[in-house]
Structure 1
Amino acid sequence: MFATATGCGSSVAVWTDGEVPFVRSTTEVIDLMLDLARVKPGDVVYDIGSGDGAIIIRAAKKYGVRGVGIEIDQDLVLKARNNAFKEKVEHLVEFRVQDAFDADVSPATVVTLYMLPEFNAKLRPILERQLKPGSRVVSHDYPIEGWTPARVERVPGNLVHDHSVLLFEI
């Protein structure tokens, strides 16, 4: 559940329970995630918790790569599919209503995440089991317990905090 905290003329969403909230990454953060992952033609990008599809759609538009979004919220999947159609990349992308812990991500060469640390920790064994050597995992803001990032870059944010982008290599 979200609660909204306000003060100093701004508001921020605050996470209050076990659900992982949808918070869209900025275009600047998305571009840095894709750049750090060295996305190139032939890559297959999976976004776990894909929300409105922004990362997968950006990867398809910018690099011409195929992408798969995994999202548990059916309404967000419908929005992502509509966004892909509007951006004319529906032939390159797919959005699935699926629990991340049941997903087969083995075709991915790049996996993107904007999930809380607890979620990332639970996802780590799945990524270790399914991803091939040379695959890249990029996380917006949050580490993956037990993994050391190959690179960490920062993006200036808003009043609340700056953003971190962490690259992990399999």
Structure 2
Amino acid sequence: MTRAVVPQILKAATGRGWTITTAESCTGGMVAAALTDVSGASEMFQRGFVTYSNAAKSDMLGVRPATLETYGAVSEPVVHEMAEGARRAAGADIAVAISGIAGPGGSDTKPEGRVCYAIATAAGVSTQTIDHGALGRDAVRRAARDYALDMILAVLR
């Protein structure tokens, strides 16, 4: 799936002269890696942010400590701020942000497989939460990567 989507993203982004950045927590850079796995990626991708800790989210992306404290790292308000901060810091046209519970584990309120996403453009930021299920760490991370890539492509269509 990833191999089919990324060339479409590259073609659409470069056709518009748009750039893309990533702000990733639970995926640890997997979306950035997928985007840069095709020849010509530098036309659309200059940098991404792996902000695994709360401190990194605040330091690198400007996520407010109060937002982290109130909602927790795996929340739509946090990914909203991550996406805005990444777009601003990279000077990109599109920013996708991801934070989730890859597992193992989780809690009753934030189970394994829950991932929050945000996508930011000049038109604003949209967020959503997907429960991918307790698929195991690797499968949750791959599902999150693929979902984020689909979000980027949807914006470019």
Q: If the length of structure 1 is used for normalisation, what is the TM-score? A: 0.36
Q: Higher Cα Rg: structure 1 or 2?
A: 1
- Give the structure, 1 or 2, with the largest relative contact order (CA under 8 Å, sep 6 or more): 2
Which structure features the higher share of helix residues?
A: 2
Which structure features the higher share of strand residues?
A: 1
